[in-house]
Amino acid sequence: MQLRQSERKQAKIKMALQGSAGSGKTYSSLLLAKGITGGNLSKVAVIDTEYGSADLYAHLGNYNVLSLAPPFTPENYIKAIDLCESEGMEVIILDSISHCWDELLDFHSKLAGNSFTNWAKVTPRQKSFVDKILQTDAHVIATMRTKQDYVLNQKDGKFIPEKVGLKSVQRDGLDYEFTLVFDVDIKHFAVSSKDRTGLFMGKPEFIISENTGKEILDWCSTGTSGLDEQKEAITPQNPATNQNPNPTSRNGNLPQIDPQEAFECPENEESFAPSQDLSETTEKEVFEAIGKCNTVQELYALYKQFPQFQQSLKVDFEAKKSLLINLTNPKNFSQNGKSRIQ
């Protein structure tokens, strides 16, 4: 366990739209996705369980549709999300997730034995589905159908059902898992019933538009990114102590990368431009270059120059960084001059 300071990080929105049939959940979801992707609907996928309703709005742009056929099991939803992720979709619309809960209720009703204990066979499947939504590396917009909710009130010694409003067709409390939840009425007006972004809570009802998606994207983009954390992971604590007086590359056939050149690039630039053309460098060459780095300075320069390999070679960069730090730490050497990490 380790305590750390709180830090606002960039995020992928996980949100839900709930409303009755005809309230415009699918259309509103596509408008939100269009705003989030900056108008590029080719990066949007709709997982459609509404028998082709997603295709009704093809005039909005060339978004992708994955038609999900019964049974609407959590496992099939998870496979569909995996497919969208593998295709590089930035926004995944689940239209709708109410069918998944209907399927689980039907499954539960057919189980033999004690009804209460049988929920132990249902809950893990629902949890896996929810976890997949929350952990996927894409923006997720889920829609939920609503129905009339009732409670039993006692009157004149009898219990009488009374209407108490609308309730989403999903497991109780699911809306708490989302960052943002919009309730959409039959006139297409939306109001936030849950909002961790602070953008819409307490605001009057409004009609969802592409600009709504842009506001959400701006909120998601605020804070530090995972890439920043990766850079910090291999940035030397004291560059001066690891500075190489002769910054000549020892990376074999790989073009020379001057570490000083990397560290002196402006803060607002994503990468620096070395004097050599490195556009044709392969991942294998970078991997070999990692092993030939003799200082943390050289390693960091190599890391910063090739952002396309930062994720795939992250383990190799961090392992080399740890080795270099240990090799230059006097505490790792005994009195007889032999390294303790040999």
Boundary (domain end) residue, out of 196, 221, 246: 221
Asked whether residue 122 falls in the same domain as residue 147, the answer is yes
Boundary (domain end) residue, out of 158, 190, 221: 221
Residue 312 has pLDDT above 50, yes or no: yes
Residue at 3 is within a domain: no
For residues 39 and 28, the answer to whether their CB atoms sit within 8 Å is no
Looking at per-residue confidence, does 261 or 144 come out higher?
144
Residue at 342 is within a domain: no
Residue at 337 is within a domain: no
Boundary (domain end) residue, out of 167, 187, 221: 221
Q: Taking residues 279-294, what's their average pLDDT?
A: 82
Three-state secondary-structure class, residue 88: coil
* Confidence at residue 50, expressed as pLDDT on a 0 to 100 scale: 82
Exposure letters 84-99 (e unless 16+ CB within 10 A, then b):
beeeebbbbbbbbbbb
Residues of the chain above pLDDT 90, percent: 47
pLDDT tens profile 107-141:
999 999 898 999 999 999 999 999 999 999 999 99
Band of pLDDT at residue 94, cut at 50, 70 and 90: very high
How many domains is the chain partitioned into structurally? Answer: 2
Asked whether residue 265 falls in the same domain as residue 328, the answer is yes
Helices 210-221, 25-36: crossing angle, 10 deg rounding: 50
Asked whether residue 131 falls in the same domain as residue 237, the answer is no
> 267 lies in which domain range?
226-332
* Confidence at residue 84, expressed as pLDDT on a 0 to 100 scale: 96
Asked whether residue 91 falls in the same domain as residue 217, the answer is yes
Residue at 2 is within a domain: no
Global pTM value: 0.64
Q: Taking residues 270-286, what's their average pLDDT?
A: 64
* Confidence at residue 271, expressed as pLDDT on a 0 to 100 scale: 42
Residue at 6 is within a domain: no
Residue 61 has pLDDT above 60, yes or no: yes
pLDDT tens profile 188-232:
999 999 999 999 988 999 999 999 999 999 999 887 665 555 555
